Structures are given as C-alpha cells and as structure tokens.
Amino acid sequence: MKVLVINGPNLNLLGQREPSVYGNTGLGRLVDMLKDHGSEMGILVDHLQSNSEGDIIDALHNAMGRYDGVILNAGAYTHYSYAIRDAVAAVKLPVIEVHISNIYAREEFRRHSVIAPVCIGQISGLGIEGYLLALDYFARYFEKKS
C-alpha cells in the first residue's frame, strides 16, 4: 500500500510559522514521523510540499495508478481552489483532507473547504496528529477493501 502526503502553501515553514497555531514540529520531522508510522502498518509514505497550485494538481494527477490514497493539506487553497477540488474528484482516489489547526475556530474565510465534499473525510484541529490518524484510517480502509 502506498499513500502520498501532499502539503500546500506555507507548510514548508512548519515549526517556524505561527507556532502557537501550527506547533513546533518542522516539516522534515513530520515527514519522518509519517514514514515511520506508515512503515509500522505496511504503508509506504511519499511526500510532496509545494507552494504552487499547479504542482499540487500535477501531483494528484500523477498519483493515479501509483498510490492507493492521498492525505492532502492544501493550506489556503482549501478555501478557494476549485482547480484542486476538481483534481481530487477526477483522480478517483480516496483523499483525506487534513488541517493542523481547527479551521472552524479561525477567521471566517477559513471556515469553508471547497475540497471537503470530494474527499472521503476531513481531520481538522488535532495538530500534526491528524496526519497520523489519517494514516491509521487508511490502514483499516485498505484492509476492508482487500
């Protein structure tokens, strides 16, 4: 089983950017944690971070036939990128939307996701633990599918 984790804009600054909101764990450490956690469950985890909408769309397209599922934190694109939403719908892969902060307890513009309706689920507000929970869910999801 293979899962692609995609992190969008500004997530390359994890651990530095607004630690009171996003925590102190850097992106490199998060990726290591995900790979280790996935390995324990027999899931290969790959990662991409991009600040560019087109790169995220290309990664979703390229995931078809190569990955069993996607964990997506689209960052600010969550709230307005219909192009990423359409890519998620088009690839027909199970996608879990993850947000480190509770987007529903923040500014009004952050409280709506255009991507969530085409995902199998959303995890919001549980810090980086949300990514690990998404992997846990995929382990059970793939087991049921086989």
Q: Which three-class secondary structure string do you get for the chain?
A: CEEEEEECCCHHHCCCCCHHHHCCCCHHHHHHHHHHHHHHCCCEEEEEECCCHHHHHHHHHHHCCCCCEEEEECHHHHHCCHHHHHHHHHHCCCEEEEECCCHHHCCHHHHCCCCHHHCCEEEECCCCHHHHHHHHHHHHHHHHHC
User: Which position among 67, 77, 99, 131 bears the catalytic label?
Assistant: 99
Structure tokens at 43: 């899931």
The length of the chain in residues reads: 146
Question: Is 47 a known active-site residue?
Answer: no
Question: Is 112 a known active-site residue?
Answer: no
- Compute CA 28 distance to the chain's CA centroid, rounded to the nearest angstrom: 15
Active site residues per annotation = 22, 99
